[in-house]
Chain A
Amino acid sequence: MNLRPAIRLASVAFGLATLLSAALPAGAADSADPAADAKAFQNYFTTKFPKLKLADFVNGPYSLNEDMHRQWVEKEEFPPYEFSLEMGKEMFAKPFKNGKGYADCFDNGGIGVRQNYPYFDEKEGKVITLELALNRCREANGEAPLSYMKDEMAALTAYMAFTSRGKPFDIKIPNDPRALAAFENGKQYFYTRRGQLNFSCASCHVQNPGQRMRAEILAPALGILNAMPIYRSEWGGMGTISRRFTSCNSQTRGVPLEPQSDEYRDLEYYLSYVSNGLPISGPGARP
């Protein structure tokens, strides 16, 4: 049997299955159950790495390799994200031209709230990430939006993460079919293969964390967003969740999406939800 038609057949079958599952009402055999997903996800990692505590996963590859762990401890003595963190603190405190500030856009003045992002906005019917909320805050106050990838956006999210350090991720999925659909959509994005290398996010970060991908040690998907934003030595600077997603897509030789596109927002929603209960550790430092 020729392989190509077989693949095509399989993908048609898969497409049908997706259509069917989308058409079927909740309660069908494979209905979405985020709580069960999160439990299975966390169990998978704690079983794979029995020596690690759940909270260790927020330190990414550094919990998986002793030599790297030593380098990390040394780095954290005076972490390379220090300048960004300080810049974020200053930016956060500086009023906009209209006299208002970031604090006016967030619960509790934006302090210690990072663990609640992203959340599902039932009015809008979409996922709102922290990066998106920050730019919306700027635009609502007559300021130009920031680039999502690094510099100022990384500094602001670094500061907000810092004020939430130690607080467990607390992502909620409201009783709204659209929220469940966003979660499922994010999950599907996470497990779908793409790019010339035909890798899914899960190929590296679920199936192979702790292994070397060429030169780098792959981070576990569990807790990966808890450390954001990160100073990556490879980047020689800071990067946001948007930068992490787009660079991951590029590294599999795929075409990255626009930062804060619906798919990335759903992906962040899924990936944050399955890390519920793990503490925020950002900003982080990574190889």
Chain B
Amino acid sequence: MTATDDQFSEFSATRRLILKGAIVVTLTGLGNFSFGAVPALAAANDKWPEEAFKQKGQADAIKALYGKTAEASDKVKLDAPEIAENGAVVPVSVTTTLADVTSISFLVADNPNALAASYNIPPGTIPSVANRLKMAKTSSVTAIVEAAGKLYSATKEVKVTVGGCGG
């Protein structure tokens, strides 16, 4: 971070406060609606997989999430840049020709916690997801596709020259 940016860190702090305030406003302002959101998430019959997100290593995270291991498959197409322009925003997407996909996950092996995101794919939803991830440093990025109860994966190395964890 440059000296100039430090000079304005006060503003970031202010912005954070405003944001926090805004969330409080949203909560109170929405009243019943905010309660509405939670059952909707619960109804999806899926709790946030805390254990899997807590794991440091990739293998442990996959095990905690799925309880099994994945095999590499050329039917899983992972798209990620060769060199990330900035580790804070790395566009990563996956698509697959596999049938009966129920879940897609993204892992960054060398991040402090390997599991980045996991998506539940209900029947009728196309097994193709694009998102933007943070990468602390150069690492392999793995996409896991769960199809018909089995795990398939694709991996790609992404070089990171500007880390996405600040500092």
Contacts and interface: CB of A to CB of B under 8 A. Distances in A.
* Chain A directly contacts chain B within the complex, with at least one CB pair under 8 Å: yes
Interface of A: 67-68, 70-71, 74-75, 80, 147, 149-151, 214-217, 233-237, 243, 246-247, 249-251, 256, 287
B3 A287 contact: no
B2 A247 contact: yes
A234 B82 CA distance: 18
Interface string B149-167: 0000000000001100010
B85 A71 contact: yes
Contact of A67 (B3, B5, B83, B93): B83
A151 B93 CA distance: 30
Interface string B68-86: 0000000000000111111
B4 interface: yes
A73 to B, nearest CB: 9
Nearest to A216: B162
Given A216-B162, A250-B2, A251-B2, A287 B81 contact: no
Contacts of B93: 74
Contact of A235 (B5, B15, B84, B91): B5
A182 B101 CA distance: 64
17 contacts: A67-B82, A67-B83, A68-B83, A68-B85, A74-B91, A80-B89, A149-B11, A150-B11, A151-B11, A216-B161, A233-B89, A236-B166, A246-B4, A249-B4, A250-B3, A287-B85, A287-B86
Contacts of A80: 89
B8 A74 contact: no
A216 B93 CA distance: 23
Top 8 nearest A-B pairs by Cβ distance? A215-B161, A233-B86, A287-B85, A250-B2, A74-B91, A250-B4, A233-B89, A246-B4
A246 B130 CA distance: 35
Contacts of B88: 233-234, 236
Contact of A234 (B11, B130, B162): B162
A67 B89 CA distance: 14
Interface in B75-123: 81-86, 88-89, 91, 93
B85 A233 contact: yes
Contacts of A250: 2-5
Nearest to A256: B4
Given A70-B81, A234-B162, A75 B4 contact: no
Residue from the set B8, B93, B161 with the largest chain A CB neighbour count within 10 Å: B8
